Amino acid sequence: MTSPAGAGRFAPSPSADLHIGNLRTAVLAWLFARSTGRRFLMRVEDLDDRTDTDVADRQLADLAALGVTWDGEVERQSAQRQRYDDVVDQLAADHQLFECYCSRKDIASAPRAPHAPEGAYPGTCRDLTAAQRAARRDATRRPPALRLRTAVTSYTVHDIVHGDYTGVVDDFVVRRGDGVPAYNLAVVVDDAASGIDQVVRGDDLLASSPRQAYLAHLLGYPQPVYAHVPLVLNADGARLAKRDGAVTLAEIGVTETLAMIADSLGYTARTLPEMLGEFDPLTLPRSPWIYRPG
């Protein structure tokens, strides 16, 4: 099956060198796209002030060393601020946003309706009057975040790995108080602008997909095909970290990294083109891969 107009992507955040779990997800995203005739795009998600250009360059070099190829130029979110501002302005003009003055502590301690999901925004600032907003602004003395005034509490997406998944959709942030576009907005806008119709990423992001799919629906964008793949964990069942030993490409080596990724997927292949010949999304492992260096 081919989809010549569509595309998959990998979108790392350049806050640290990619570890073998990130590299495995990148390989899977590449395999999903190439096996369906899609283009494969690379996006650097560098809106956060903790990101680093040198780290981004190393990430791209590591991916290229493994044989991950992409089409066109690398897109950097930091160069697309007007794109996000235009969408926020559109949502504001449609009365879809409201100002929020809550801190994380405020949200955590706010009373909730019975059975409200843990961590969901409790609606504190949703229906403030102009006078109440002014009072909150004077009290907090910080710019407000902008939240989406959602019309649903949940949304269902279909995922190749997980099937139908219904998750929480609360009044989530689309622009932070410091003016930076929020992840849930930027990723949706970028995917639509680039013609990305296949999103392959770690299953730690599965819970965010209903919010993103709902926003895409609200903006009139098509919903992409999702595939949230299991993470790579350490021997204790926790996310990989530097303390787990050799986890980056520079520490493991290209040949060994490719071999370990192939073995984790049950493949005999040792290069990406060879893995493409063995790739079948229906036979992908459904549980995390436990990484043990050496």
Domains 1-79+232-294 and 80-229 agree in fold: yes
Q: Of 207 and 244, which is predicted with more confidence?
A: 207
| Residue 2 predicted with pLDDT over 60 | no
28-37 burial by CB neighbour count: b if 16+ within 10 A, else e? bbbbbbbbbe
Q: Per-residue pLDDT tens for 125-165?
A: 999 999 999 999 999 888 999 999 999 999 999 999 999 99
Q: What is the mean pLDDT of residues 183-198?
A: 98
The pLDDT of residue 272:
98
Q: Per-residue pLDDT tens for 55-66?
A: 999 999 999 999
The pLDDT of residue 236:
92
Query: Domain 1-79+232-294 sits in which CATH superfamily?
Result: HUPs (3.40.50.620)
Note the pTM of the prediction, 2 decimals: 0.93
Q: What is the mean pLDDT of residues 98-109?
A: 90
> How many Å separate Cα 141 from the centre of its chain?
31
**Binding site for ATP: which residues?**
242
Q: What is the mean pLDDT of residues 202-229?
A: 97
**Binding site for Zn(2+): which residues?**
100, 102, 121, 125
What residue segments make up the domains of the chain, in order of their start? Answer: 1-79+232-294, 80-229
Nearest-angstrom CA–CA distance, 262 and 271: 8
**Binding site: which residues?**
9-13, 45, 100, 102, 121, 125, 183, 201, 242
Question: What confidence category does residue 114 fall into, taking pLDDT thresholds of 50, 70 and 90?
Answer: low
Closest CA to 185 of 42, 40, 81: 81
**Binding site for L-glutamate: which residues?**
9-13, 45, 183, 201
Residue 50 DSSP label: T
- Close Cβ partners of 134 (under 8 Å, ≥ 6 residues apart): none
Nearest-angstrom CA–CA distance, 10 and 38: 13
Nearest-angstrom CA–CA distance, 202 and 24: 10
The pLDDT of residue 3:
41
Q: Which CATH class is domain 80-229?
A: alpha beta
Closest CA to 186 of 201, 199, 175: 175
Q: Per-residue pLDDT tens for 3-61?
A: 446 999 999 999 999 999 999 999 999 999 999 999 999 999 999 877 789 999 999 99
Nearest-angstrom CA–CA distance, 269 and 278: 8
Q: What is the mean pLDDT of residues 257-273?
A: 97
